[in-house]
Structures are given as structure tokens and as C-alpha cells.
């Protein structure tokens, strides 16, 4: 199936909606968002299905819309940090999957680049704007160690889900789009 703008808009809306619903469900059963990273799942999956432009939009808009509608994440500074982090995740995944890179390598690359971008945003907020926040390296170490269960879920669950979706709808996920 050819990627049309209408199809990408609809799928983008679906991934953004999932990015609002899945974290809300996680928080309803104990506030495990920072541990299991539920907003990351639909954004990363969207990166495998959408073009770079639409994937990036999903990554940027999901934390912003969630913050405005649900208060999670807190708008300043977390939503802005996550907008950059998840935008980079989605863009990286979309670009690498177009080159046929292995799904796990694609996910790891996106996670590394997204975390670096998040660290840069923390540095901007602390150093330039003067917001009281953890230093960038402390933030990065903390977010990675806290999120290890979520990272494992992403690395295991997403490739399995993509394989299942490809079997059911082979035209939805293609290596080169």
C-alpha cells in the first residue's frame, strides 16, 4: 500500500491517541510511567510505520498534548524534554527502518540519540534558562537506570509486535518506503 498523506494523518492520530491512553492506564495502576516508559511504545512503533515527517510529529506532539490534557508529563520542563527526546526517537527509527537496519539496532540507536537529545535539553534548561533541575549527566543516568524495565519491554515487545503486524498486514510495515 502506498503511503498517502491521508493514511499517515490517520495513523499519526492513532499513535498520538495511544500515546495518551497507554500512559494513563499505567499511571492508573501505580504511576509506573518513568519505569515502563509507556508513552515511548506508540511513538517508537509509529516510527516503524510512518514516514520521518509524520513520525517526528507524533514524537513531538504526543508529550505536549498529553501534558496539556492530562498533566503528565508536567509541562515545564519535562514535556519539553520529552518532546525533543521522543521526536528524535521517532525520526531515528523512521530513517533507519527505511535503510533496512535491524529492528533492535534501530531501537537502540533511537534510544541512545533520544537520550543524548534529552540530556542536551536538560543542559539548556539548567545552564541557559536557569531552571532548578538535575545536571544533564545525573538526569541521563537516572532516566536510564529507572527506565531499564521499559527499555527491555521495548526491545522485546516492539520487534515481536512488528513481526505480527507484518504477517497480518504486510503492506503496513515495509523496510523501504
* pLDDT score at 33: 72
CA–CA separation, 37 vs 151, rounded Å? 8
Read off the pTM. 0.93
Residues of the chain with pLDDT under 50: 1, 176-177
* pLDDT score at 177: 40
* pLDDT score at 134: 85
* pLDDT score at 29: 77
* pLDDT score at 175: 54
Amino acid at each position: 500500500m502506498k503511503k498517502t498523506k491521508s493514511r499517515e494523518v490517520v495513523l499519526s492520530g492513532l499513535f498520538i491517541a495511544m500515546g495518551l491512553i497507554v500512559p494513563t492506564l499505567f499511571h492508573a495502576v501505580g504511576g509506573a510511567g518513568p519505569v515502563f516508559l509507556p508513552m515511548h511504545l506508540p511513538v517508537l512503533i509509529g516510527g516503524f510505520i510512518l514516514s520521518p515527517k509524520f513520525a517526528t510529529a507524533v514524537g513531538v506532539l504526543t508529550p505536549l498534548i498529553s501534558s496539556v490534557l492530562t498533566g503528565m508529563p508536567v509541562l515545564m520542563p519535562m514535556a519539553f524534554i520529552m518532546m525533543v527526546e521522543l521526536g528524535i526517537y521517532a525520526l531515528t527509527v523512521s530513517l533507519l527502518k527505511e535503510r533496512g537496519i535491524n529492528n533492535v539496532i534501530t531501537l537502540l540507536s533511537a534510544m541512545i540519540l533520544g537520550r543524548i537529545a534529552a540530556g542536551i535539553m536538560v543542559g539548556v534548561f539548567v545552564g541557559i534558562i536557569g531552571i532548578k533541575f538535575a545536571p544533564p549527566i545525573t538526569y541521563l543516568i537516572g532516566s536510564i537506570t529507572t527506565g531499564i524495565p521499559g527499555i527491555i519491554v521495548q526491545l522485546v515487545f516492539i520487534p515481536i509486535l512488528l513481526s505480527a503486524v507484518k504477517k497480518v498486514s504486510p503492506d503496513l510495515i515495509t523496510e523501504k518506503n
